[in-house]
Every structure is written in C-alpha cells, then in structure tokens.
C-alpha cells in the first residue's frame, strides 16, 4: 500500500495534476486562476494562472520534451496548451475530449468518450491520426500508448454493462488483454475506472472512482494489489499523476458538498 507523503490544500475540485520543470501543476474548476503551480520539493504555492476562454476543463498532462502542459476542455471541444514560459494556445478536437496523455513521439493522445475514438495530435495541434475503438469499449475515459504501440484504455460509466481496463492492438481493432467486467467492488471489478498512469516497467495504475481506490496491474493487466485504499482518501479519486523519478503518486480527491465540488491532491510514495 502507498504511504502518505503530503496533502495539497483543499479548495475547488481538482480536475488534473501533473509536473513540469520541477513544479507541480494542479487544475481546479473555477472561473479564474484555474492552474495552481507548486514547488515539487517544498509543495509551496508559487503562482496561479488563468486559462483564457475555457468552458469545462476535464484533464491535464504535460511533456518535458516540448516543455508544456495540456488541458482538455470538454465544453469547448478543444485542448489548451500552456508553455512553461506562460503562453496559452489551443486547438480544436471536434469532439468532446476527456483524458489526455503523451506518447513516446511527444504527441498528445486524446480520448473522446462520446464517439469512442482515440485522437492523436502533434504538440501544436496538427491531427496525426484517429483510431476507432472496438464496439464493446463503451464510455472510454483515458488512454495510454505503450512503447510497443498498443493502447491501454479504461472504460465504463454509469449504466454501462462492462467496466474494465483493456489493452488494445495498435490498429484499435482487437482487445489483447483486459481486466474487469461487470461493475462491482470485488478485486477483479471496477465501478468507473476513470484514469490511468503507467510506469517505466509498464505496470498500470488505475483510478477506480466509485470504489474509491487505486489498483495496480501488471503489464499484461493482471491484478497485483491496491496501492491506495478508500481508507486513505477523504472523499473520492478522480485522477492521478505518477512522478516516475520520485516514485510519487499524486491522487486527486474530490467531493460534492454544500452545493459545490471541493477537492485536494493527496501524495503517496509507491
């Protein structure tokens, strides 16, 4: 089980967390100052940044090679890019974007849940390719591309018959491995597997949102253990970020309370 290291301050709900150039970037749901930047060692707040022309931010990721942070805007059907110098740009996705990740080519992988597609873009928003997911992959939330070109996708929302994590072939046509099935709370089940992180050895961390836990899977998607349990969270996990070098797992922890969403980030050593 992961060991608690630190907790970042409570505030509006947290929709994403990542790191870039020795700082932690945290994405909150509010009208301005949506991006909070913290020192990665001291966890002290350094500055706040306002994302222009947003509607509803859903996820965040980063790329050290391109030195920028990406944010998906589900309301605006676009991705916002924030350079490390502080400049904002954006590009359209033409469908609702949910989870974001960056592959080994430094391109952005966007998961579009409604149309059940993976869309790949260059760092500047040039469309590279689109991949349709198999028919039984319903409500996909997040995708990670492996070093071999296969895709790991978590899918399943309220009312869907299947909630699982799948490894899908590079062409998107075939499911190679999977973990999960009918929604539930047992070891081999999920209740909205919402976000993923993959380490250098291709072990997979899965946010199991409604079961309030984070599960670790092997590179072939076999169950290893829980790394964060519901007892270690105050509310419920919605996202995560794995800092590879420090072996720290940043887990967003949100709750609906008194008519609004509130949240924080909890840091675990894994």
- In the three-class reduction of DSSP (H, G, I as helix; E, B as strand; rest coil), residue 232 is classed as helix
pTM of the predicted model as reported, rounded to 2 decimal places = 0.95
Cα–Cα separations (whole angstroms), residue 29 to 78, 82, 94 = 16, 17, 22
Angle formed at CA 225 by CA 141 and CA 64, multiple of 5 degrees: 50
pLDDT digits (tens, 9 = 90+) for 108-128: 999 999 999 999 999 999 999
Give per-residue burial for 201-234: e unless 16+ CB within 10 Å, then b.
ebbbbbbbbbbbbbbbbeeebeeeebbbeeebbe
Q: What domains, with CATH codes, occur in the chain?
A: 3-269 (2.120.10.30)
The pLDDT of residue 179 is 98
pLDDT band at residue 258 using 50, 70 and 90 as cut-offs: confident
pLDDT digits (tens, 9 = 90+) for 222-241: 999 999 999 999 999 999 99
Cα–Cα separations (whole angstroms), residue 204 to 22, 61, 224 = 24, 16, 10
> Rounded to an integer, what distance in angstroms lies between the CA atom of residue 10 and that of residue 14?
9
pLDDT digits (tens, 9 = 90+) for 159-200: 999 999 999 999 999 999 999 999 999 999 999 999 999 999
């Amino acid at each position: 089980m992961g060991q608690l290291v630190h907790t970042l301050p409570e505030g509006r709900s947290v929709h994403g967390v990542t790191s870039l150039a020795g700082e932690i970037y945290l994405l909150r749901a509010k009208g301005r100052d949506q991006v909070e930047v913290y020192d990665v060692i001291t966890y002290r707040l350094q500055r706040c940044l306002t994302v222009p022309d947003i509607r509803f931010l859903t996820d965040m990721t980063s790329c050290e090679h391109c030195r920028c942070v990406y944010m998906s805007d589900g309301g605006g059907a676009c991705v916002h890019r924030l350079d490390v110098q502080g400049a904002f740009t954006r590009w359209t996705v033409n469908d609702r974007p949910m989870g974001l990740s960056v592959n080994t080519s430094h391109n952005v992988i966007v998961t579009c849940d409604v149309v059940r597609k993976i869309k790949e873009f260059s760092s500047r928003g040039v469309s590279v390719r689109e991949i349709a997911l198999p028919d039984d992959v319903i409500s996909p939330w997040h995708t990670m591309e492996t070093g071999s070109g296969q895709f790991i996708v978590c899918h399943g929302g309220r009312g869907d018959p299947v909630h699982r994590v799948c490894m899908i072939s590079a062409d998107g046509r075939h499911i190679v491995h999977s973990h999960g099935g009918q929604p539930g709370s047992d070891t081999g089940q999920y209740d909205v597997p919402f976000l993923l992180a993959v380490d250098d050895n291709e072990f997979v961390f899965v946010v199991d949102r409604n079961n309030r836990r984070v599960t670790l899977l092997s590179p072939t998607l076999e169950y290893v253990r829980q790394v964060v349990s519901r007892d270690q969270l105050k509310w419920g996990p919605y996202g995560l970020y794995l800092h590879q070098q420090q072996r720290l797992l940043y887990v967003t922890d949100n709750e609906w309370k008194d008519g609004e969403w509130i949240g924080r980030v909890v840091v675990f050593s894994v």
